Amino acid sequence: MSRLIVVEDQVTLQASLKRGLEEEGFDVLVASSGREAYSLIRREPVDLILLDLMLPDGDGLSLLRRLREEDYHGPVLVITARDSLQDRVSGLDSGADDYLVKPFEFTELLARIRAILRRSSPRNSSSTLHYNDIVLDSLSRKVTRDGREVVLTQRQFELLEYLLRHKNQTVSRDVLARDVWKAATATWTNVIEVQVNQLRKKLGDSKDDPFLHTVRGEGYQLGDEP
């Protein structure tokens, strides 16, 4: 199930989009401001952002640029009443993948969402993921650090791949249990902690300068310090 976040301050439209998308099988988060959206996106991995540009606490493009600067690579579909050519160009130049002008038909929005998700699905994304000198090849199922192969179990490989695909985002234990272990969350917390610690050890993560961080009360983040 793909997870989307709808960043829209108009309560009626936000509720309508959430209801319609959930009926189509999507898991939907909602945010009414840029600040709320930023916090959610950093805490919960999402597959696509639906972003209104006119938010109560600032321009949606500022949020988009900030996310791109902080290494968020997920797709973004802008939904806005701004319909000038310059607005469209600015949105796309700021990192949007598509631009839809209000008012729009829900069927068109749905078609664009599905097209974007097809283009950005793992099978269409790069098979090679990097963080500094760590390289993961999802096709050969090999991991190297500084050119030397690191032997991982299947679960450790899947855990590292997930964290690399959500680099610089805090991923909760519940999300890891659901998306990596495909399991109920409550029974897997200790298992996840053990696997994360083993992954740290195999990758040579340093306590003095770590790259796989524990975010207290939330989960884990690979990349910059949260």
CATH code for the structural domain at 128-222 = 1.10.10.10
Residue-wise pLDDT for 32-45, tens only, equals 999 999 999 888 88
Query: Domain-by-domain residue ranges, the chain?
Result: 3-123, 128-222
Specify the CATH class of 3-123 in words.
alpha beta
CB 54 within 8 A of CB 99: no
Q: Among positive and negative, which fits the CA dihedral 8, 118, 2, 159?
A: negative
Could you give the CA distance from residue 137 to residue 127 in angstroms, rounded to a whole number?
Answer: 6
Could you give the CA distance from residue 76 to residue 96 in angstroms, rounded to a whole number?
Answer: 5
**DSSP 8-state class, residue 122:** G
Pick the range with the lowest mean pLDDT from 82-86, 94-98, 162-166: 82-86
pTM of the model: 0.61
Residue-wise pLDDT for 22-79, tens only, equals 999 999 999 999 999 999 988 888 889 999 999 999 889 999 999 888 877 788 999 9
Percent of the chain exceeding pLDDT 90 equals 52
How sure is the predictor about 170, in pLDDT bands with cuts at 50, 70 and 90?
A: very high
Residue-averaged pLDDT of the chain: 88
- Name the more confident of 1 and 126: 1
CB 77 within 8 A of CB 120: no
Over residues 113-140, mean pLDDT? 81
Q: What is the pLDDT of residue 186?
A: 55
State the alpha helices, DSSP H only, in 136-187: 154-165, 173-179
Q: What is the pLDDT of residue 121?
A: 66
